[in-house]
Amino acid sequence: TNTGGVNLGHGSVNISWGSALATSFESGIGSGNEFPVGTSTESFLVVNGFGDSAWCSFNVIVVDSIVPTIIAPANVTTCDIIVNGISATSSDNCSGEMITYNMTGATTGSGSGDVSGMTFNAGTTIVWYIVTDASGNQDSVSFNVIVPPLPVVTIDAFTNNTVCVYHTALALPNGTPAAGAHSGPGVGGGVFDPAIAGVGSHWIVYTYINAEECSESDSTEIIVDGCAGIEEIPELAGFNVYPNPSEGVFNVEFVNAASELFKIEITDVNGRLIYTVSTQSEMVELGIDISEEARGVYFMNISSDSHSVVQRIVKN
C-alpha cells in the first residue's frame, strides 16, 4: 500500500492506494473450452489491494440452428414382401439425433428406427425418414419400396394320376400362364416318364416368372405304381371296360364275346381279392362298384374256359 499527503492551510490530506486489482475465474465453463448448446453462466471475482472484492457473472448462450442431414436408400423393387437393408443414415453437428419413419401408399405405418425387415404389401409404398436433433431441428427424405404382384399360377391335374411304372411317358399337364416350366422327378422333354421317376408319389411343379422376375408355382401329384409286374392290356378282345379311370364304378361291356360263363375278379396291387362275380356274356353289360375301396390301381381279371385277360383299372 502506498501513502502520500499534502498540507492545506491548517490541515493535511493523506491518500492511500493499493496495487493492481486481482481477477479470478470462479465458476462456469471457462474461456477456451467448448460450450454446450443452451445457457452457461460464467462467474468472476475481483479483489483490490485493500481486500475489497466484487462479483460479476454473465451468461453464454449457444444456439443450435444447424439442420441435421439424412440419406435414404435408393428406390427398391423386389418380389420379396419382407424387405431388408433399407435403413437411413444421419449426421448432425451435435450428437443425439433421432430417426423416425412414416409409410404411406400400399403399406402404412409409423415408428422409430428403420423399416428394414418389415412386410410390405404389393404395390408402391412411400417411406419417409425424419431426423430430429436435440434442438428440434429436422430434415426428411423419402424413397419408394415397390413390390410387384405375384403371378397367379395353376397347373392342371394329370388325366390319369396313377400309372404303372412301365407305362409310356405321359404328356405334362398344362400350366397357366403359358411359358412356364415344369420340374420334378421323371420330367423332361415335355413329358413325365414313370420309369425314370420310379415307384412312389411324385409332385410335378409348374413355375412361372413374370416380367418383373417374380415367380410363383403350383404342383400336382402323380402316383407311379409297380403294378405287381402285370403288363397292361390296352384293348381286350371282346370286352370293353369304361370309364377308366373312374370314381369307383366301372362297366364291363361284352362285345362279340362268345356265349360263355365269365368270372370277373378284381385284385389290388398286393394281390388281395376285393371283388368277384360270375356272369353270362349274354348280359351284354355288367356294372361293378368298388367305390368303397381306396384310391389307386387295381387289376380286373376276366376269365372263362377259353379266355383269360387282365385290365388295369384306376380308381380316383
Q: What is the pLDDT of residues 266-278, one digit of tens each?
A: 988 777 889 999 8
Strand order through the sheet with 191-192? 170-171, 191-192, 187-188
pLDDT category at 232 given cuts 50, 70, 90 is: very low
How confident is the model at residue 3, as a pLDDT? 58
Lowest mean pLDDT among 91-100, 171-180, 231-240, 268-277: 231-240
Give the CA count within 13 Å in the CB-facing half-sphere of 190: 3
The H or E element spanning position 22 is strand 22-27
Judged against a pLDDT cut of 70, whether residue 100 lies above it is answered with: yes
Judged against a pLDDT cut of 50, whether residue 231 lies above it is answered with: no
Tell whether pTM > 0.85. no
Q: What is the CA radius of gyration of the chain?
A: 48
Taking alpha carbons only, the member of 195, 213, 204 closest to residue 79 is 213
Give CA separation, 173 vs 29, 202, 205, 210, 303, in Å.
83, 14, 10, 20, 36
pLDDT category at 237 given cuts 50, 70, 90 is: low
DSSP 255: -
**% of residues, the chain, pLDDT over 90:** 49
Taking alpha carbons only, the member of 239, 56, 242, 211 closest to residue 148 is 211
Q: Is the link from the previous residue into 149 a cis peptide, with omega within 30 of 0? A: no
pLDDT category at 36 given cuts 50, 70, 90 is: confident
How confident is the model at residue 235, as a pLDDT? 44
- How far apart are alpha carbons 2 and 163 in whole angstroms? 127
Task: Kindly tell me the burial class for residue 86, based on how many C-beta atoms sit within 10 Å of its own C-beta (0-12, 13-18, 19 or more).
Answer: buried
CB 199 within 8 A of CB 226: yes
**Mean pLDDT of all residues in 79-91:** 94
Judged against a pLDDT cut of 70, whether residue 127 lies above it is answered with: yes
- How far apart are alpha carbons 299 and 266 in whole angstroms? 5
- Indicate left, alpha or beta for 293 from its phi (over 0: left) and psi (-120 to 50: alpha): beta
**% of residues, the chain, pLDDT over 70:** 87
Torsion of CA 31, 35, 38, 39, to 10 degrees: -20
